[in-house]
Amino acid sequence: MSDTTAVEGEIDYAEVMRRLPHRYPFLLVDKAEDFVPATSIVGIKNVTHNEPFFPGHFPIDPVMPGVLIVEAMAQTGALLMSKTLDVAVADKVIMFMSIDGVRFRKPARPGDQLRMEVKVIRARGDAYKFRGETFIDGKLAAEAEFMAMVVTVPTPAPGPAA
């Protein structure tokens, strides 16, 4: 029997799927914890040997591409924004705007768990600036500052009648 009681500040995989438009193989957040509206969140990504990028990056010594670690931090920030602003993914999307000061300290490999600690530096309406740090086994693996904003998805024009 499973416990369906939600823990305050936690976001399970089902809610991640409702709040982010990304899907396999590009959804890079499994769950989140320590969510504080408009302030901070911790995203979790379990890196497995089944990730689609490992056969080519690199077959003998698999390493998660650094850009995907940054994308995982950005998705964590988007999750914070989505829940804080209660963004409806049916007609809105949170877009990555900029990134600064990226540093990679430790490679991510199969079996690692990324713990992405994202804090809001500034928020103005639908635009947020974040500071993100990703940890593996308590050690800093990557860091960056980045911005994102909520954008309305254009409604497609109706097609010709059949």
Active-site amino acid positions: 57
Angle at 55 between CA 12 and CA 133, to 5 degrees: 45
Sheet with 113-124: list strands edge to edge.
Answer: 31-36, 40-46, 113-124, 127-136, 139-152, 92-104
